[in-house]
């Protein structure tokens, strides 16, 4: 009896163990998992649409940096001869003085941001574009493609085109900062296939050609402008035309066109012309905004000049970072240089150093291109809301309200006015709608003029190029005289480049323009001193103001003045090293096929 009981109990114990082993495996099963997977996202039309919206967050953003006033809060033109930012720790100071390495380089984030954008675009295209080779099921799509009236007709095709544009723009950014870049095409990199990630780079001209071709694929699929207010800010057909124009212009430029193949300039001219022709065929074309200063703080959608912008909208970080130091809460981080100020012509169309210009170094801001007053705060500029008793003259004299202090101020005598909304009340600091302009109409005109001139043998062959520049110069409120006709290729180049510098100042053009023109070739701090200051790239000039009896005396604005500031290190440009940023050091080790840029 006892033995039977023993056996029964032992058997029961074994049974219990067996049961627990089999049923308890289930103990580790997921109870629920509400997280999203790739499949869940692209099987759902709402999430798919949201995914596309998110890709837009990778658009270039010249204003986002203002959220880091310590290291980044200044215009990127502070990396050029246009401006400085006030302290030695500032990232742009390091870049403008070649004080960085491929492993200790503050702006290498551009590498990741753009590859992140490319990955997103390719993930999107993989599931939405029926022609994508990776599409697991091209026969089905969660986005409808029916013909409707309005913007949403053939919506799937439009979404595909938007994603392709964004992908092309991210490649363009890579070429701008890093030169040769991999063309990813439709590739979504797979971590389990590590060999596929050791990418090789295509030279810049090839990538730019690829970008232009991508634009060709989509430029007429996208609406040139959207009809619905709700689609304002989306990638449109005009942006594709504009990107193609810029890509081909960069491709034809000296940096990427070592053989100076003039057919490339021709292509660039045609691309710009295509934009202008297409634009003029619409009843409501893109036009120059009739007020140059307001064009940069006007509510973005009311500005018919903007082709594509990065949505930023309500903020006052731009104002508080730019306004002169003496306004409460202002940091005055971007300090334009005397070099830049000197580049503005007189209202008579002459450079300040030209005979008969009428330039007076002790009244240096009188009779200048009106865009100077619209772009720069100088000593004596009036600012502030009169109705709030905040209106006053900017005072950058030593010890003056807007002179430098422990945590800000100007080292050049100037502050940046562009983008600053004059409606700002310092005591309550409302926010204003801002958008970072990526493409605008004036740029296309200048692209066109530059390409036509460069494609010619001895200067523009007909009036087209002149008319394009004149159109920019004759904007309502700017009204600068037309360019003199019959300029040599060389002379026209100088004028159109200066026009670009002034018109597109602080819009992230100067950094790339100087490089694509190879403007630094043969330039040393010593040998450029014979040139006018506005043509000097490495020596940075400042102005200093002393006030006696209410009368300001300007030192440094004189034509031959060489006033510099010890606190502003000399700009350093090593050719060819500094034409491009280095590929991040770690990346070159992980993907050795990338190679490294010259001299890094």
Per CB under 8 A, which of residues 407..436 are in contact with another protein?
433
CB of 195 to another protein, least distance (A): 9
Asked if 31 is part of the footprint of another protein (rule: CB under 8 A), the reply reads: yes
Asked if 57 is part of the footprint of another protein (rule: CB under 8 A), the reply reads: yes
DSSP single-letter state for residue 538:
S
Shorter beta-carbon distance to another protein: residue 562 or 586: 586
CB of 287 to another protein, least distance (A): 18
Asked if 225 is part of the footprint of another protein (rule: CB under 8 A), the reply reads: no
Tokens of 382: 């009036």
Asked if 526 is part of the footprint of another protein (rule: CB under 8 A), the reply reads: no
Tokens of 203: 């030279």
Asked if 191 is part of the footprint of another protein (rule: CB under 8 A), the reply reads: yes
DSSP single-letter state for residue 392:
E
**Cβ neighbours around 551 below 10 Å, total:** 8
| Cβ-contact 205, 131 below 8 angstroms | no
Binds another protein (CB under 8 A): choice among 67, 144, 153, 194: 194
- What part of residues 457-496 is at the interface with another protein (CB under 8 A)? none
Asked if 142 is part of the footprint of another protein (rule: CB under 8 A), the reply reads: no
Asked if 41 is part of the footprint of another protein (rule: CB under 8 A), the reply reads: yes
Asked if 10 is part of the footprint of another protein (rule: CB under 8 A), the reply reads: yes
Q: Which neighbouring-strand residues pair with 334?
A: 85
- What part of residues 369-388 is at the interface with another protein (CB under 8 A)? none
Asked if 230 is part of the footprint of another protein (rule: CB under 8 A), the reply reads: yes
Shorter beta-carbon distance to another protein: residue 561 or 596: 596
* Interatomic CA distance for residues 522 and 419, integer angstroms: 35
CB of 106 to another protein, least distance (A): 11
Backbone φ and ψ of 228, nearest 5° = -85, 140
**Mask 169-188, x = binds another protein (CB under 8 A)?**
-------------x-----x
Backbone φ and ψ of 368, nearest 5° = -105, 160
Q: How many CA atoms lie within 13 A of 223 on its CB side?
A: 16
Asked if 524 is part of the footprint of another protein (rule: CB under 8 A), the reply reads: no
Shorter beta-carbon distance to another protein: residue 199 or 393: 199
Shorter beta-carbon distance to another protein: residue 9 or 479: 9
Shorter beta-carbon distance to another protein: residue 433 or 523: 433
Tokens of 571: 């700009």
Q: First CA to last CA across the chain, in angstroms?
A: 89
Across 70-120, the runs of DSSP E, i.e. the strands, are 83-85
Asked if 199 is part of the footprint of another protein (rule: CB under 8 A), the reply reads: yes
- What part of residues 245-304 is at the interface with another protein (CB under 8 A)? 301
Name, in order, each residue with C-beta under 8 angstroms of 97's C-beta and a sequence gap of 6 or more: 569, 570, 571, 572
Binds another protein (CB under 8 A): choice among 11, 13, 258, 490: 13
DSSP per-residue letters across 166-192: HHHHHHHHHHHHHSSB---TT----TT
Q: How many CA atoms lie within 13 A of 445 on its CB side?
A: 23
């Amino acid at each position: 009896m006892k033995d039977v009981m023993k056996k029964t109990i032992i058997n029961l114990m074994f049974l219990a163990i067996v049961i627990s082993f089999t049923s308890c495996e289930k103990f580790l099963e997921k109870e629920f998992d509400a997280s999203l997977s790739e499949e869940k996202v692209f099987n759902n039309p709402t999430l798919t649409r949201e995914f596309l919206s998110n890709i837009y967050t990778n658009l270039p953003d010249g204003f986002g940096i203002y959220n880091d006033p310590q290291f980044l809060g200044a215009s990127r033109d502070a990396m050029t001869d246009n401006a400085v930012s006030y302290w030695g720790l500032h990232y742009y100071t390091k870049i403008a003085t070649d004080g960085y390495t491929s492993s200790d380089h503050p702006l290498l984030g551009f590498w990741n941001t753009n590859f992140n954008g490319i990955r997103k675009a390719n993930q999107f295209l993989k599931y939405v574009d029926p022609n994508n080779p990776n599409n697991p099921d091209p026969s089905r799509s969660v986005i409808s493609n029916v013909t409707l009236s309005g913007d949403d007709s053939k919506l799937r095709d439009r979404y595909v085109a938007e994603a392709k544009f964004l992908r092309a723009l991210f490649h363009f950014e890579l070429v701008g900062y890093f030169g040769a870049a991999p063309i990813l095409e439709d590739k979504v990199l797979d971590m389990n296939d590590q060999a596929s990630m050791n990418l090789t780079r295509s030279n810049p001209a090839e990538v730019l050609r690829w970008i232009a071709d991508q634009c060709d694929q989509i430029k007429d699929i996208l609406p040139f402008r959207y009809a619905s207010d709700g689609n304002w800010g989306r990638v449109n057909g005009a942006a594709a035309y504009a990107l193609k124009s810029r890509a081909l212009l960069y491709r034809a430029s000296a940096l990427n066109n070592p053989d100076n193949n003039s057919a490339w300039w021709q292509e660039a001219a045609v691309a710009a012309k295509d934009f202008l022709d297409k634009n003029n065929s619409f009843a409501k074309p893109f036009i120059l905004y009739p007020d140059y200063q307001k064009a940069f703080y006007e509510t973005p959608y009311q500005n018919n000049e903007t082709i594509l912008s990065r949505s930023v909208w309500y903020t006052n970080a731009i104002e508080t970072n730019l306004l002169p130091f003496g306004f409460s809460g202002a940091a005055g981080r971007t300090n334009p240089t005397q070099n830049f100020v000197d580049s503005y012509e007189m209202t008579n169309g002459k450079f300040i150093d030209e005979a008969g210009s009428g330039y007076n170094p002790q009244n240096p801001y009188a009779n200048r291109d009106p865009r100077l007053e619209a772009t720069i705060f100088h000593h004596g500029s009036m600012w502030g809301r009169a109705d709030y008793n905040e209106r006053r003259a900017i005072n950058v004299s030593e010890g003056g309200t807007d002179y430098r202090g422990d945590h800000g101020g100007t080292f050049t005598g100037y502050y940046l006015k562009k983008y600053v909304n004059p409606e700002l009340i310092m005591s309550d600091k409302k926010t204003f709608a801002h958008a970072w302009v990526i493409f605008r109409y004036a740029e296309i005109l200048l692209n066109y003029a530059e390409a036509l001139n460069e494609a010619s043998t001895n200067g523009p062959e007909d009036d087209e190029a002149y008319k394009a520049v004149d159109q920019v110069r004759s904007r309502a409120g700017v009204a600068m005289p037309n360019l003199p006709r019959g300029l040599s290729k060389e002379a026209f180049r100088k004028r159109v480049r200066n026009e670009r510098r002034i018109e597109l100042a602080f819009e992230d053009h100067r950094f790339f323009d100087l490089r694509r023109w190879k403007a630094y070739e043969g330039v040393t701090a010593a040998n450029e001193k014979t040139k006018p200051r506005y043509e000097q790239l490495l020596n940075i000039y400042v102005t200093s103001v002393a006030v006696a009896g209410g009368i300001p005396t300007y030192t440094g604005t004189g034509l031959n003045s060489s006033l510099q500031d010890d606190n502003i290190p000399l700009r350093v440009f090593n050719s060819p090293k500094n034409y491009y940023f280095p590929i991040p050091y770690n990346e070159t080790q992980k993907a050795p096929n990338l190679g490294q840029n010259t001299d890094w």
